[in-house]
Amino acid sequence: MTSRRISREAPVQGALVIHPEREGRGQGRSPAARLEEAEGLARALDLEIREGVIVNLRRLTPATLFGSGKVEEIAALCEAVEADVVVVDDSLTPVQQRNLEKAWKVKVIDRTGLILEIFARRARTREGRLQVELARLSYERSRLVRTWTHLERQRGGFGVMGGPGETQIETDRRLIADRIGRLKRELDEVRRTRTLQRAARQRAPAPSVALVGYTNAGKSTLFNRLTSAGVEARDMLFATLDPTLRTLRLPGGRPVVLSDTVGFISDLPHELVEAFRATLEEVKEADVILHVRDIASADSDAEAADVREVLQRLGVEMAERRVIEVWNKADRLDPEARQERRTDAVLARPAAVLVSAVSGEGCEALLARIAGLIDEAPPVVIHAAAGQGDLVAWLYRHGRVLERREAEDGSVSLAVSLSDQAQGQLERLFPGVGVLA
Ligand SMILES: Nc1nc2c(ncn2[C@@H]2O[C@H](COP(=O)(O)OP(=O)(O)OP(=O)(O)O)[C@@H](O)[C@H]2O)c(=O)[nH]1
Ligand SMILES: [Mg+2]
């Protein structure tokens, strides 16, 4: 055992992190904050940061991204700090990556490559691993297409038929396509099992609450605080990858199922978002969404905007009646800022609660808010014919049944309090259901 562990230990790799600063990129974040985030990503891969630099890109140089003077400067810096890897916090084309590796004589990785690599290391479940592999291959395929276009252009329109490079790319593309097809079938299989598990859970009478948020916002810490679970929470980007579920009791004793899941980041590779679509179904179907934000982060607003954007891409409905913003890390604010945030939270739309997952401050209020969202709406009376057991079970799970009357023909009338969200879902799942106000 011991010897295996020793032999697996890789030597520390030193990294030079470069944040290329371009006009119109970064959505209002400061370049320094962007660089810091890129360094955090590199650290999440166990790279040791030797140096971080911001490089202003005035003009784009297609072959190397950076101009030739900058390329030379960075080559010298690489040598000076003894970097093994250069992280470029942008997307590089395969050609740029190759040219830079040649010029700097080190391995070069771009932002998407970095994020994919972190995900590959973190994936624990079979579904997680398959998803990451699928994302990686989709990314590679898109890069092959780009190389292909590039070659075509190089030939200036002549000799497009045949040629060894072309054949190789064609072969690579077909191999990747085959592998993607196989992965998708495997994933379908794994997901069928999970869907069955979810269906089984849905029979349990508990509404669901999903944690979402920017990576490192404190989702897992809050999850542990609320459920007394031992999910890994670390000061590391993308500490959590696979979803975890736990039951917790709201004030009044009502159980809800809380889910913790993967965090988001700005410029999240779209291949990853696609690959994780199924995992994020928990979020899509949740009765309440808790959007956890690091309110002490200087980029808190930009991060929140990124999270909303990803959720929108995933088709998650962010209706006000369904979302609570959890303004976390209140303990990191100075007393004045804290008071200000507390006042802001009262007026915020969607509703916001200032908490500290570490100290527990605000967590009681948060639970009360969740209970409020789940129960708030005035009750409706729903008539379920005999044999509509699925409807009755659904109502018990997603609403609060206040009264139940059974008729002789086996039909049931229920007075139920449903959230707006649940009511919308009800109409979609059971069209034409008999609702009496
Ligand atoms: N001071 C302070 N630190 C917190 C609080 N909540 C979380 N943290 C810290 O923030 C870091 C990230 O916390 P996690 O709970 O792992 O964050 P996460 O959102 O689950 O992150 P990913 O899984 O990586 O997306 C850890 O070092 C936590 O200890 C808080 O309320 N106050
Ligand atoms: Mg986490």
> Could you tell me if the ipTM is greater than 0.85?
yes
Say how many C-beta atoms besides its own lie within 10 A of residue 159's C-beta: 10
pLDDT value, residue 126: 87
Residue 7 CB neighbours (<10 A): 7
- Which pLDDT belongs to residue 436? 61
Binding residues for GTP: 213-220, 238-242, 260-263, 328-331
Please tell me the distance from the alpha carbon of residue 242 to that of residue 220, in angstroms, as a whole number: 11
Encoding tokens for residue 390? 């699925």
Q: How far is the CA of 64 from the centre of ligand 2 (A)?
A: 36
Q: Which atom of ligand 1 is nearest to the CA of 292?
A: 19
Separation between Cα atoms, residue 310 and residue 265, nearest integer Å: 9
Q: Indicate the pairing of strand 288-294 with strand 323-328.
A: parallel
In sequence order, the β-bridge partners of residue 403 are 415
DSSP string, 119-177: HHHH--SHHHHHHHHHHHHHHHHHHHHHHHHHHHHHTTTS--S--HHHHHHHHHHHHHH
Q: What is the dihedral of CA 6, 8, 11, 17, to 10 degrees?
A: -140
pLDDT digits (tens, 9 = 90+) for 230-263: 677 777 777 777 778 888 888 877 888 899 988 8
**Nearest ligand (C-alpha, residue 218):** 1
Compute, in angstroms, the gap from residue 328 CA to the centroid of ligand 1. Answer: 9
> Can you tell me the distance from the alpha carbon of 232 to that of 238, in angstroms, rounded to the nearest whole number?
11
DSSP state of 12: P
DSSP string, 331-398: GGS-HHHHHHHHHHHHH-SS-EEE--TTT-TTHHHHHHHHHHHHH-SPPEEEEE-TT-HHHHHHHHHH
For a pocket test of ligand 1, which of 121, 211, 221 has the largest count of ligand atoms closer than 8 A to its C-beta? 221
Binding residues for Mg(2+): 220, 240
| pLDDT at residue number 110 | 93
Which residue numbers in the chain have pLDDT < 50? 1-7, 146-163
Q: Is the CB of 358 under 6 A from ligand 1?
A: yes
